[in-house]
Structure 1
Amino acid sequence: MASGRVVVVGSLNVDATSYVERFPAPGETIVGRDFGTALGGKGANQAVAAHLAGADVEFVARVGDDANATLARSVLAGFGLAIDGVVGVADAPTGVAQITVADSGENTIVVTSGANLALTPGVLDDVRASLADAAVVLTQGELPVATIERLAELCASLGVRFVLNLAPPVVVSPDALAVCDPLVVNEHEARAVGIGRDVPEGAPLEDWLSHAAAAVGRVARSVVVTLGAAGAVAASPVGAWAEPAPEVAVVDTTGAGDAFTGTLAAFLAEGRTLAESMRIAVAAGALAVQARGTVDSYAPRAAVLAAALDDETRRAEGATPA
């Protein structure tokens, strides 16, 4: 097993983002303030985040034979990521995400999968050796369910740590969920798999701790629940932890969850504990929401570690995070 090596089997999209004062009502037309096109898709975002966090990343993805594929490969290469695993397929467009970001920082997203649907279970046989050599294998809910389930099965048979970000919350077999270490979900995705269904919206971190702990061994090997501006909780067989997020000026929340998940996977891959990896990942997510865009808002390893240390120091001194 190569320490620090992360294989991301995931989605790749090109994001078309409009910035608006507010979201339109049904049937309403409004005028946008700005527009941008950039790399996206949870797989691509998390691969970049893990790479920036210091992991040796192999990204397995599918794109179309179009201009968006050229853009995506160029951006990935610009970050220093190898693009050998980003394979083009005929008769399918590169996946796209149509995003609207309001002045509040909140967003709406419509994803059209395109070539991502060509990432079938059969593709995994071609990368079996890479999976076996990984410290962590990471995937997301944007892939075909059969691919997610086969990847979980392969990781279990190979003895490789499998991390699933179940976003969106597609219906995956209990056997696949059972090998997740961790299963990473937000509060809505958590409820979809039977975690915290009775926890009210906006509940504090502490209210989620017991629910995350109760899901260990019942739903997955370990669990992380991200709770937006509140922070995150995690649980494993050795304990449960809450990590509050620092208070920051939110510019754009798009891709912040992917910054968290990719960073989490990177630090787990280098041997850090779940609690420590989550603490650093919360800092990465908080940095990401302070700038526009997805991968362009992600901070490098040194900045993320410094932010995590600063927040830990402020809390130890009893100060209010700022």
Structure 2
Amino acid sequence: MSTVFVVGSLNIDQNIRVRSLPRAGETVRGSDATFSPGGKGGNQAVAAARAGGTVKFAGAVGDDAHGRRILEVLSEASIDASHVRVSGTAATGTAIIAVDDQGENQIIVSPGANSGLTAADVDAGLAAVQAGDVLVLQLEIPTELVRQAARTAKSRGAFVILNAAPAPRQIDGLLDDVDLLVVNEQEIQVLADLAGLAGMPGNHRNLVQTLPPVLGPAIVCTAGAEGSFTVLDGSLAHVPAAKVDARDTTGAGDTFVGYLAASLAGSHRDLSAAMVHATRSSALAVTRTGAMESIPWANELPAFAPNPTPNPANPNPTNPSPVVPN
């Protein structure tokens, strides 16, 4: 099996449960705050490792208790974190997460040490990347480092996945060395706008088909209750969402990406099968609370639910209970 390399963010998540998410100017009462390891990069690396992948991570944390806890969790997942830099000048990144009674969330991120990640850190973290490996990237670190990492990995024959989240403000050069984009229905619309297609009619189903020739990479779009979509053999393909009782959607999208990457790093790069595996893992994740701690291990999936089956997209689907993450 090939190696999954992840270059990305590491945060400590401050989680607060609320009855309903606050509106602008509104104060709501919440639960006592709890702290847990997170960050899109860290979550995706842990998901790939718990899926059975061999994972190497490059990132940065502060020289503080939160940073040490994150490194412990990475070690417990058997992730090679030898290229995670410990900053003596910046605190570990922090995400403040409010989760309501329906499992929906609002997130504010303070990047902290993530902003201090350097080009040298990226080069060191990708020194061992080779043909057949998979690189996973997100946009919680400086975009110039995302472009550098993609370019380096692609030049050595690796398969590059970009989870374009948070949604970018510009895409100049960002996608040049990306093989697969993973986005939700809001992010795919932002990409369409940035590509000059703001007036294009249709929703994420249409954009999954029309954007790849414009942007370059193939696209997987996750769409909450609708499931996930991509194009296979020239036709729109749909993996339905599994039906679960969602408690907390935090980290579910990262679980999807990590399991997808680990599946694609296997002996067969079957995108359809990888999407099914990713859907099942994220379905189980949303039945739990938290980010990293909600990510399932591969051996938990067989007993969880039958595989959803990819099928040609129905233009008028019924909506199952939400699962495939936004």
1:251–1:290 Cα contact (<8 Å) kept: yes
Q: Give the whole-Å Cα distance in 2 for the aligned partners of 1:19 and 1:164.
A: 30
2:270 matched to which residue of 1? Answer: 273
Cα distance, 1:189–1:169 mapped onto 2, change above 3 Å: same
What is the aligned-residue RMSD (CA, Å)?
2.3
1:263, distance to aligned residue in structure 2 (A): 0.5
- SS of the equivalent of 2:20 reads coil
1:177 aligned onto 2:175: yes
Q: Give the whole-Å Cα distance in 1 for the aligned partners of 2:244 and 2:37.
A: 25
- SS of the equivalent of 2:63 reads coil
Q: Give the whole-Å Cα distance in 1 for the aligned partners of 2:182 and 2:309.
A: 23
1:130, distance to aligned residue in structure 2 (A): 2.0
Q: CA offsets, 1:20-64, max 9 Å, x none?
A: 111233343332234311000000000000001010000111011
Q: CA offsets, 1:244-302, max 9 Å, x none?
A: 10121110010100000001001011123111111111111111111111111111113
Cα distance, 1:20–1:105 mapped onto 2, change above 3 Å: same
2:131–2:157 Cα contact (<8 Å) kept: no
Alignment-mate amino acid for residue 125 of structure 1: D
- SS of the equivalent of 2:98 reads strand
2:100 matched to which residue of 1? Answer: 102
- SS of the equivalent of 2:35 reads strand
Q: Give the whole-Å Cα distance in 2 for the aligned partners of 1:123 and 1:283.
A: 34
Cα distance, 1:243–1:306 mapped onto 2, change above 3 Å: farther
1:50 aligned onto 2:45: no
Alignment-mate amino acid for residue 260 of structure 1: F
Q: CA offsets, 1:64-86, max 9 Å, x none?
A: 11111111112222233233122
Q: Which moved more, 1:29-38 or 1:6-15?
A: 29-38
1:226 matched to which residue of 2? Answer: 222
Q: Give the whole-Å Cα distance in 2 for the aligned partners of 1:29 and 1:172.
A: 33
Alignment-mate amino acid for residue 126 of structure 1: A
1:10, distance to aligned residue in structure 2 (A): 0.8
2:313 matched to which residue of 1? Answer: none
1:263 aligned onto 2:259: yes
Number of residue equivalences = 308
1:212 matched to which residue of 2? Answer: 208
1:174, distance to aligned residue in structure 2 (A): 4.3
1:308, distance to aligned residue in structure 2 (A): 6.1
Normalised by the length of structure 1, the TM-score is 0.88
1:243 matched to which residue of 2? Answer: 239
* The one of 124, 127, 142 aligned to 2:125: 127
1:229, distance to aligned residue in structure 2 (A): 2.2
1:145 aligned onto 2:143: yes
1:305, distance to aligned residue in structure 2 (A): 5.0
1:316 matched to which residue of 2? Answer: none
- SS of the equivalent of 2:129 reads helix
Q: CA offsets, 1:147-189, max 9 Å, x none?
A: 0111122122212111000100123544431432211111111
From the two aligned structures, give the one with the greater helix fraction: 1
Q: Give the whole-Å Cα distance in 2 for the aligned partners of 1:170 and 1:244.
A: 27
Q: Give the whole-Å Cα distance in 2 for the aligned partners of 1:5 and 1:253.
A: 27
1:233–1:243 Cα contact (<8 Å) kept: yes
Matched ranges for 1:1-322 at <5 A:
3-132=1-130, 135-194=133-192, 198=200, 208-235=204-231, 239-270=235-266, 271-305=268-302, 307=304, 309-312=306-309
2:277–2:307 Cα contact (<8 Å) kept: no
Q: Give the whole-Å Cα distance in 1 for the aligned partners of 2:294 and 2:102.
A: 17
2:228–2:241 Cα contact (<8 Å) kept: yes
1:122, distance to aligned residue in structure 2 (A): 3.0
2:14–2:33 Cα contact (<8 Å) kept: yes
Q: Give the whole-Å Cα distance in 1 for the aligned partners of 2:3 and 2:217.
A: 21
Q: Give the whole-Å Cα distance in 2 for the aligned partners of 1:236 and 1:225.
A: 13
Cα distance, 1:305–1:266 mapped onto 2, change above 3 Å: farther
2:126–2:149 Cα contact (<8 Å) kept: no
1:238, distance to aligned residue in structure 2 (A): 5.5
Q: Which moved more, 1:11-20 or 1:179-188?
A: 179-188
Normalised by the length of structure 2, the TM-score is 0.87
Alignment-mate amino acid for residue 191 of structure 2: V
Cα distance, 1:307–1:219 mapped onto 2, change above 3 Å: farther
Moved segments of 4+, more than 6 Å: none
Alignment-mate amino acid for residue 293 of structure 1: G
Mind listing any 5+ residue stretches in structure 1 that lack a counterpart? Answer: 201-206, 314-319
1:127, distance to aligned residue in structure 2 (A): 3.0
